Structure 1
Amino acid sequence: MAFVSATASLLVPVPSAVRGGASASAYPQPRRPLLPPLRAAKGSNSAPVVLESKVKTKKKKGSGAGNLPGALDVEIREAQEYLDSDEQEPVSDNFPFEILDEEGMSVVILKRDYKDEKIEVIVSMPNLEGGPEFDDEDGEGDGESAGKDDEEAEDEDDEGAGDSSVSLKVVVSKGSGPKLEFTCTAFREEITIDDMLIVEKTDTKGEEKLPFEGPEFTELPVIVQKGLFKFLEQRGITLSATNYMHDYMVTKQTKEYIRWMTKLKDFVRQ
């Protein structure tokens, strides 16, 4: 389990119009200061920036075809080459969270204390179209058809790149009292609050109860929505923090991908 620390600056998130549970499951581009205006959740026309994937989604042709161990070796080698060339931004002492990263797990836990509160953030793997596929150095074809295929592949990359995000479940607690649970999606240029719940401890004995969970987040008054965004920002949920974690999770995803492929290769070769 690794304990790390990184940089954060105050950047304003933007809400979405979706309600759903936290996902516990892309690739980074250079950071730059961005200060998008805060807008009400309902009717927002903002769109995340289109970013270039560090790991391309170009389909392989021929590498290890019909030979599972050989195909796995190629995939592991290319993933490792990407990992070796990955220049992850060093961690800054200003990053407000302690990072708990357990090998083999699909999420990373962030923890910190804020005044009399305890903050816990569950960060998922990056959400990518098609999953991690690495550069194919053995591409087949040439001439006009190959150029056309490359252009189509780049177009597909651009269409899917804008969907790159990480899901966050943010839990804010005070002693033994109720907790606030936020389900968020962090894109490169905005953070959306998809859901917010007040979770109270319930007596497990007796008949089942159905507590009132409150309105949809997007049905809250705009001034309340803005206040909740500010609430999260003060507790460390900022664009600089989530962009760092996006890059961190891309690297973790690659490591776990190599580990998983290696286990599969060892099994089929036994």
Structure 2
Amino acid sequence: MATFVSSTSSAAAASVLRSVPSAVRGGACAATAPARRPLAAPLRAAAKGSANSAPVMMESKVKKRNKKGSGGGGLPAAIDLEIREAEAYLATDGEEPAPDNFPFEIVDEEGMSVVILKREYKDEKIEVIVSMPNMEGDPEFDEEDDEADGDAAANDDDEDDDEGDEDSSLSMKVIVSKGSSPKLEFTCTAFREEITIDDMMIAEETESKEEKFPFEGPEFTELPVNVQKGLFKFLELRGVTLTTTNFMHDYMVTKQTKEYVRWMTKLKDLVR
């Protein structure tokens, strides 16, 4: 269970749930990796203006390779190479079972870029929309890879992979509903050692077609600290924990690779 620590308790910082401001209120669940900066307050927050990064296809666990000779045979051969390498990775990537007492039902539809987690908690319905992982720190496939640099850079590649794993994150939208009452919507980012709340809003359904501009409340980091802590605990009790998000991180990396294979196979059929 993640705990809260003050800025002076560095020993427990690895498991803290922290809050960060959001550039967009109520938008789609997008992959972000906010820079981390300590504040005087007990919770840590990141500066506004962090750029969004598009998901990186399949580089998450596949190391860089030498591309020498891969251009032979034109486009179909290049696509075949991508498919073979992705399938080889999947063959060695044993899927981990869900943790004990995993509270959610996983709804995973082929061809989709998100997975939906569902559960009921007391008289509430909880839905978590999980996006593809953001792997900002990982090496990308590099067609300019030099054969001469391969051996010398092997150790550097391993270090880059480790750093990339630390920087990787999942973007999630958590929706809590209770009957006909307004919904609570949280936009979160899950890192390996902490979960942040980037934004929160109360979503009220309206039948009116007239455009309205309701008051949406303050930024999450502008809420009183005790309210922020209470909302972190609110999500934790409903299953949004590091155990859940770390399992889903690995699950989504595998899904990303499977979807990459499907996409490449479609592309191969269309350009054949």
Is 1:164 the counterpart of 2:202? The answer is no
Paired AA for residue 75 in structure 1:
E
Matched, 1:86 2:93: yes
Tell me the distance in 1 between the aligned counterparts of 2:150 and 2:251: 34
Corresponding residue for 1:178?
A: 182
**Given residue 241 of structure 2, which amino acid in structure 1 is its aligned partner?**
T
CA RMSD between the two structures: 2.9
Q: 2:6 aligned with 1:11, yes or no?
A: no
Aligned residue for 1:32?
Answer: none
Task: Work out the CA distance in 2 between the residues paired with 1:80 and 1:104.
Answer: 17
SS in 2 for 1:210: coil
> After superposition, what is the alpha-carbon deviation per residue over 1:31-89, rounded to whole angstroms, capped at 9, x for unaligned?
xxxxxxx9414379xxxxxxx95222456343135611111111111100110101221
Q: Secondary structure at the match of 1:250?
A: helix
Where relative contact order (Cα < 8 A, 6+ residues apart) is larger, the structure is: 1
SS for the counterpart of 2:147 is coil
Check the 8 A contact 1:58/1:133 in 2, yes or no. Answer: no
In structure 2, relative to structure 1, the CA distance for the partners of 1:102 and 1:120 (3 Å cut) is same
Matches within 5 A, 1:62-73: 62-65=69-72, 67-73=74-80
Which 10-residue stretch deviates more, 170-179 or 85-94? 85-94
Q: Give 5+ residue unaligned stretches, structure 2.
A: 4-15, 32-40, 48-58
Match of 1:121 in 2: 128
Report the Cα distance in structure 1 between the residues aligned to 2:196 and 2:109, rounded to whole angstroms: 27
| Bigger Cα displacement from structure 2, 14-23 vs 185-194 | 14-23
Equivalent residues of 1:79, 1:134 under 8 A apart: no
Q: TM-score if structure 1 supplies the norm length?
A: 0.78
Deviation at 1:148, TM superposition (A): 3.8
Give the SS at the match of 1:147. coil
Change (3 A) 1:254 1:134: farther
In the alignment, the residues of structure 2 paired with residue 64 and residue 170 of structure 1 have an alpha-carbon distance, to the nearest angstrom, of: 44
Unaligned runs of 5+ in 1: 1-9, 26-37, 45-51
Q: State the partner residue of 2:247.
A: 244
Distance change >3 Å, CA 164–CA 60, structure 1 → 2: farther
Change (3 A) 1:131 1:268: farther
CA distance in 1, matches of 2:141, 2:92: 13
Query: Could you tell me how far 1:229 is from its partner in structure 2?
Result: 0.3
User: Which residue does 1:7 correspond to in 2?
Assistant: none
Q: When the two structures are superposed, what TM-score results if normalisation uses the length of structure 2?
A: 0.77
